[in-house]
Amino acid sequence: MATVADGGEAWVIEAVRRRMGPPPAGAIGIGDDAAVLAVPGGGRILASQDMLVEGIHFRREWMPPERIGAKAVAVNVSDIAAMGGRPFALLMALALPGALEQAWVLRLLDGVAEAALRVGAPVVGGDTVGSPDGVVLDIAVLGTAALPTLRAGAQPGDWLVVTGPLGGSAAGLACFQAGAVWPGAEPLEAAALCRHACPPERLEAGRILAGHAHAMTDISDGFWTEVSALVDPVGLGAAVDQERVPIWPRAVDVARHLGASSSQPLGWALWGGEDYELLAAVPPNAWAALEGELLAVGVQAAVVGRVEPGPGVWLQRAGQRVPMDSASRGGFDHFGPR
Amino acid sequence: MATVADGGEAWVIEAVRRRMGPPPAGAIGIGDDAAVLAVPGGGRILASQDMLVEGIHFRREWMPPERIGAKAVAVNVSDIAAMGGRPFALLMALALPGALEQAWVLRLLDGVAEAALRVGAPVVGGDTVGSPDGVVLDIAVLGTAALPTLRAGAQPGDWLVVTGPLGGSAAGLACFQAGAVWPGAEPLEAAALCRHACPPERLEAGRILAGHAHAMTDISDGFWTEVSALVDPVGLGAAVDQERVPIWPRAVDVARHLGASSSQPLGWALWGGEDYELLAAVPPNAWAALEGELLAVGVQAAVVGRVEPGPGVWLQRAGQRVPMDSASRGGFDHFGPR
């Protein structure tokens, strides 16, 4: 019998999409960063949900509980940022093993509460249950957007824009997996761990991009996977210039520190997950204004490539282009072997 | 160091409430069945979330996956029913072990999809992740209500009304724990298992009750716990007439079948959890009309007691009243020893 691991994340998502059917009229459902919903009686909201599972998304010994709580909020809010929206409320479901120390739980809650306050979306409800094994933290976020920017909508000729450096989160994960703990790591490792543990908050950037972009998503599963998600479903392609990919500056030092190959930083940037920067397809004539608006809120965005009419996603370097198949190169598959 | 098990569910809920602070202006937050939220820009929604964890809320070998999926929807929708609302969308986060069979997952999704269709609330988004151990299914529900009926609001003299028989779910759980599996159990056991696996759907009853009730909740943690939750926080008390408690009719036979004591059916009805009937405090002069309206939608409600000005929750029988402390008698504590 085929297992979940055999099919991987793609199988699970496709199964959910097929089984759940199309969204109601006027709504955007499964497949975008957040659902767009008409509220009966008037109004429109965004809704998204992200679950963090101990042993899959975090290990308790890797980072302080405040960080786990804050990250759970941040990855949810990133889905609202990717629609150009504004979060207004969170729900939180928390599964806790009975043997867990109360002090740890209070610190986790502090992390959630502080992050919720910072993004203006209080926790208004949820659920608390027991767990036979690890901690599970599932947050749902509700938001609004004047005009949500969807994942679909890229047009040939659009420039691909990212809001910050890539690969830092994967570099941090590699440090954690090599035994680093935070706090306590030496400065280079600490910088990488922080890229993994402290996703950037791109709400303002998302709203600015929403004013110009044809399509947008956040980089949660890896840059390459997200570029494909932006162009494949609408029958388009993309070319990414390797030298324009904004690799996290310290990734080279981290790779050397870990004894990894010199191509590892590019690999982290292209296929590592959880950078939580935004990726948008914008018309070239919007770029000059956009770049300035983003700089004004402290975000240094970069043009990394363009949307093409033909299918396929390509990496260009030194005048040559290589086809890139994110599936064959890994990406982050939640259900694969770890 | 104190653990989560030391404090139990009450400690966790209180910790969440304190750490998360008060809800935003105009909103009802943590502590009611669902949160009531003003949508920025207009409109009001209800939101709730319930997490089912394998090994805590269900065992895979106990019931078919369709049932687990449908129950996850039902327990969420019950929170909307308890506000007198109407659900309009669901989010679903699903954590799956890689070794799980795909066929099992598809049947779980079928159960969710069918239940979602029945209650008119499609699954519009969520998350799918891996799990190192068991399955976790966390559903968030969004709804609307013209005038949500809160848990707070009971008045002295109100009658306590329940929408159906109690104790059947606990009887079913006892059968599961004694080794019964569904399907395949003999008829008496099957009837009990179904009370546990198939919560009633009380959306229509909830909306009817909302037209009359001062306060309402659903019976998820056990009748006695819910009566206390209705009156304790508003400084009131309650008296419940033992002979009026609508014990599930087959509980006596199930108790005999399992070799339990003759007082077990009352225990299941008072302290067992997960009956998912509604409990409301209604003004006595509303009862006659209310009873008829509920019967018209197939719901046979019962008056089981009344709200009193003094504190304390009492069980009355044969002209005597005994104080009942739900904490000392168990109730269902998610974090306690199992």
DSSP state of B18: H
- In whole angstroms, how far apart are CA A105 and each of A77, A97, A141, B54? 22, 10, 21, 21
The CATH homologous superfamily to which domain A28-143 belongs is: PurM-like, N-terminal domain (3.30.1330.10)
- Chain A residues whose CB is inside 8 A of the B99 CB are 3-5
A30/B3 CB distance under 8 A? no
Interface test with A, best of B91, B139, B217, B338 (most A CBs within 10 A): B91
Radius of gyration of chain A (CA): 20
Calculate how close chain A gets to B298, using CA atoms only, in Å: 27
Q: Please give the span between the terminal C-alpha atoms of chain A, in angstroms, as a whole number.
A: 21
Question: Considering the entire predicted model, what is its pTM?
Answer: 0.91
HSE-CB at B98 with a 13 A cutoff on CA atoms is 13
**Would you list the domain boundaries of chain B?**
33-144, 159-323
B80, B201 contact by CB (below 8 A): no
Q: Which residue has the higher pLDDT, A183 or B172?
A: B172
The average pLDDT across B11-17 equals 92
A7, B103 contact by CB (below 8 A): no
B109/A27 CB distance under 8 A? no
Calculate how close chain A gets to B114, using CA atoms only, in Å: 9
User: A31-43: per-residue pLDDT in tens?
Assistant: 788 999 988 888 8
User: A87-103: per-residue pLDDT in tens?
Assistant: 999 999 999 999 999 99
Instruction: Select from A129, A87, A13 the least CA-distant residue to B47.
Output: A87
Q: Is the pLDDT of residue B336 over 70?
A: no
User: How far apart (Å, rounded) are the C-alpha atoms in residues A270 and B186?
Assistant: 57
* Amino acid identity, position A30: I
Beta-sheet strands, E only, within B165-273: 215-218, 237-241
φ, ψ dihedrals at A245, nearest 5°: -65, 120
User: Does residue B59 sit at the A interface (CB-CB below 8 Å)?
Assistant: no
- In whole angstroms, how far apart are CA B169 and each of B175, B248, B278? 10, 9, 14
Q: Say if residue A246 is preceded by a cis peptide, omega within 30 of 0.
A: no
User: How far apart (Å, rounded) are the C-alpha atoms in residues B38 and A147?
Assistant: 19
B56/A95 CB distance under 8 A? yes
**Three-class secondary structure assignment of A278-333:** EEEEECHHHHHHHHHHHHHCCCCCEEEEEEECCCEEEEEECCEEEECCCCCCCCCC
Tell whether the torsion through CA atoms of A10, A16, A19 and A22 is positive or negative: negative
Distance, C-alpha B100 to centroid of its chain: 29
In chain A, the largest separation of any two C-alpha atoms, in whole Å, equals 59
A132/B56 CB distance under 8 A? yes
User: How far apart (Å, rounded) are the C-alpha atoms in residues A160 and A153?
Assistant: 13
User: How far apart (Å, rounded) are the C-alpha atoms in residues B103 and B13?
Assistant: 36
Exposure letters B284-322 (e unless 16+ CB within 10 A, then b): eebeeebbebbeeeebebbbbbbbbeeebbbbeeeeeee
Beta-sheet strands, E only, within chain B: 35-38, 44-53, 86-96, 123-130, 136-144, 159-162, 215-218, 237-241, 278-282, 302-308, 312-317, 320-323
pLDDT band of B26, cuts 50, 70, 90: confident
Q: What is the pLDDT of residue B327?
A: 39
pLDDT band of B325, cuts 50, 70, 90: low
Based on DSSP, count helices (H) and strands (E) in chain B, helices before strands.
Answer: 10, 12
The average pLDDT across A67-77 equals 96
Exposure letters B79-99 (e unless 16+ CB within 10 A, then b): bbbbbbbbbbbbbbbbbbbbe
Q: Does domain A159-323 have CATH number 3.90.650.10?
A: yes
Give CA angle at B182 (B180, B187), nearest 5°. 75
Q: What is the pLDDT of residue B290?
A: 97
User: How far apart (Å, rounded) are the C-alpha atoms in residues A193 and A187?
Assistant: 10
Task: Report the 10 Å Cβ neighbour count for A259.
Answer: 8
ipTM: 0.89
User: Does residue B42 sit at the A interface (CB-CB below 8 Å)?
Assistant: yes
Calculate how close chain B gets to A237, using CA atoms only, in Å: 26
User: How far apart (Å, rounded) are the C-alpha atoms in residues A155 and B169?
Assistant: 55
A109/B16 CB distance under 8 A? yes
Calculate how close chain B gets to A168, using CA atoms only, in Å: 22
The share of chain A scoring above pLDDT 90, in percent, equals 81
- The residues that bridge with A241 in the sheet, in sequence order, are A316
Three-class SS of residue A85? coil
Interface test with B, best of A17, A52, A127 (most B CBs within 10 A): A127
Task: Report the 10 Å Cβ neighbour count for A187.
Answer: 8
- In whole angstroms, how far apart are CA A21 and each of A245, B120, B276? 37, 13, 28
Q: What is the pLDDT of residue A328?
A: 41
DSSP state of B19: H
* Amino acid identity, position A295: L
Fold of B33-144: 60s Ribosomal Protein L30; Chain: A; (3.30.1330)
The average pLDDT across A231-260 equals 95
**Token pair of A16, please?**
């959910």
A144, B42 contact by CB (below 8 A): no
B98/A125 CB distance under 8 A? no
User: B118-145: per-residue pLDDT in tens?
Assistant: 999 999 999 999 999 999 999 999 999 9
Residue in chain A closest to B50 (alpha carbons) equals: A127
Q: What is the pLDDT of residue B109?
A: 97
User: Does residue B120 sit at the A interface (CB-CB below 8 Å)?
Assistant: no
User: A204-215: per-residue pLDDT in tens?
Assistant: 999 999 999 999
- Chain A residues whose CB is inside 8 A of the B56 CB are 95, 129-132
Three-class SS of residue A137? strand
User: A263-287: per-residue pLDDT in tens?
Assistant: 999 999 999 989 999 999 999 999 9
Residue in chain A closest to B53 (alpha carbons) equals: A131
